[in-house]
A = this chain, B = another copy of it.
Amino acid sequence: MQTLKIIKIGGNIIDDQKALSDFLKQLATLEGPKILVHGGGKLASKMTERLEVPVKMHNGRRITDAETLDIVTMVYAGKINKTIVAQLQANQCNAIGLTGSDGNTIITEKRAINQIDFGFVGDVKAVNTDSLDLLIDNKITPVFCAITHDKKGQLLNTNADTIASELAIAFSKNFRTELYYCFEKNGVLKDVSDNDSVIETIDAKYYQKLIEEHIIADGMLPKLTNCFNAIEKNVSKVCVGKPSMLFQSDSIYTTLIK
């Protein structure tokens, strides 16, 4: 079985032009089929501010109203996605930028309104690999932003970490899939202030312990939930760390196992 790497990059790389450009140069040299998934960075918030659209939050989570959806669609699918694609092309990597609506690749459902209406946020219902298989078979690298659709004409905002894990799960039928969450830290840290305290391996049992001990909290919780969801559903390898984990054999990072 061929290996397919699904690589998620977050805001910290996207907000730093030099870091992004260096990363994409290296990514272009990475052999074998790959899919890049990117988050949004600070550009969407900046644009929201410049356009004087009030930011609506609930318990630290952003509510995506119609105007905010327009902004994230413009920033994620327009500016960021196409900047990345153009740079990959300059480095001889044949990339195509996608939302979940392109090729009907990721179908989501607007989150049901319970106590709180999160607005135009989509939870993944299905990943359709037909068009993606076609691209990958022809050595084209899909580049996904965090916009999906409900197949009824509505674009929706979907967490980029979730998109990455759902893609990895969907492709694990036909590929040996590896999922890499790149961020600014060396991995999951025992001591959040010490970048050298990387926990190199976490299994499901140890994960529960780390949660109980409050070593894993805040933003790491949903990221690791996505990781373990992927492992449970046949993704072969799930790693969290700096982008260097993809390119340097002596990198230290966290690997999640069953």
Using CB atoms and an 8 Å cutoff, list the residues of chain A in contact with chain B. 50-51, 70, 73-79, 81-83, 85-87, 89-90, 94-99, 101-104, 131, 134-135, 138, 140, 147, 149, 151-155
> Shortest Cβ distance from A230 into chain B, in angstroms?
26
The secondary structure that dominates the A interface is helix
A147 contacts B89, C-beta separation under 8 Å: no
B51 contacts A154, C-beta separation under 8 Å: no
In the complex, A134→B139 CA distance in Å?
12
In the complex, A98→B99 CA distance in Å?
11
B82 contacts A101, C-beta separation under 8 Å: yes
| Chain B CB within 10 A, most for which of A76, A78, A83 | A78
In the complex, A95→B131 CA distance in Å?
10
Chain B residues whose CB sits within 8 angstroms of the CB of A90 once the complex forms = 151-153
A78 contacts B74, C-beta separation under 8 Å: yes
In the complex, A103→B142 CA distance in Å?
10
Copies in the complex: 2
> Shortest Cβ distance from A22 into chain B, in angstroms?
13
Q: What residue in chain B is nearest A70 (Cβ atoms)?
A: B79
Known pairs A97-B102, A140-B131; A78 contacts B73 (CB<8 A): yes
B96 contacts A155, C-beta separation under 8 Å: no
6 closest Cβ pairs, A-B complex: A78-B78, A90-B153, A74-B74, A74-B78, A86-B101, A77-B78
A101 contacts B89, C-beta separation under 8 Å: yes
Interface contacts beyond A77-B82, A89-B101, A94-B104: sample of 17 additional A-B pairs, CB < 8 Å, sorted by A: A51-B51, A70-B79, A73-B82, A74-B74, A74-B79, A78-B79, A82-B99, A82-B102, A83-B155, A87-B153, A89-B104, A89-B153, A96-B103, A97-B101, A103-B140, A131-B140, A134-B138
In the complex, A131→B135 CA distance in Å?
8
In the complex, A96→B142 CA distance in Å?
12
> Shortest Cβ distance from A159 into chain B, in angstroms?
18
Q: What residue in chain B is nearest A87 (Cβ atoms)?
A: B153
Chain B residues whose CB sits within 8 angstroms of the CB of A101 once the complex forms = 82, 85-86, 89, 97
Chain B residues whose CB sits within 8 angstroms of the CB of A98 once the complex forms = 96
In the complex, A101→B77 CA distance in Å?
13
In the complex, A75→B73 CA distance in Å?
9
